[in-house]
Amino acid sequence: MMFCAVAGVLPDIDFAWGGHNRQTHSLGAAILAGLVVLAWKRQPGLAVAVALSWGTHVLFDWLGSDDTPPLGVMALWPLNSNFYFADAHIFEAISRRYWLDNFYTHNGWAVLKELLILGPVAAVVTAFRSRARRRSRHPGTT
């Protein structure tokens, strides 16, 4: 679980060197993350989960809002270095312009919108995991 949480946010480490939405926001990076975890932990299921977690970050940024060119994410790196942007604006861009009047209201709305969209999905996944865990502890029950 902790590995997946870290993999879900790690693509944004590119803010540290100012190349946001480039190589770390790609399926190639997602696969590399999974391979690193596979080599380190020797757990194929965990490696796939980490790659998928990393990939969801790429997917959500592709579906999000972006107003800083080049728009989108370098999703298919290393196959190509094109930027892909769904232009769907399902998720709001997080503002880092703290000096603007709407900084808190905009980012508050962005967080609320993500919780409303992803919260039910997380609840369903958690319920399925709990059920599977109960079944493995008490085989034969429903």
User: Where does this chain bind Zn ion (CB under 5 A)?
Assistant: 11-12, 61
Handedness of CA 50, 52, 139, 128 (dihedral sign): positive
For Zn ion, the closer of residues 29 and 61 by Cβ is 61
DSSP state, residue 95 = P
Six token digits for residue 122: 């997380």
For Zn ion, the closer of residues 47 and 54 by Cβ is 54
CB of 131 to Zn ion, least distance (A): 32
Cα–Cα distance measured from residue 34 to residue 36, given in angstroms and rounded to the nearest whole number: 5
CB 83 within 8 A of CB 70: yes
CB of 66 to Zn ion, least distance (A): 10
CB of 64 to Zn ion, least distance (A): 8
For Zn ion, the closer of residues 3 and 91 by Cβ is 91
Helix (H) or strand (E) holding 131: helix 103-137
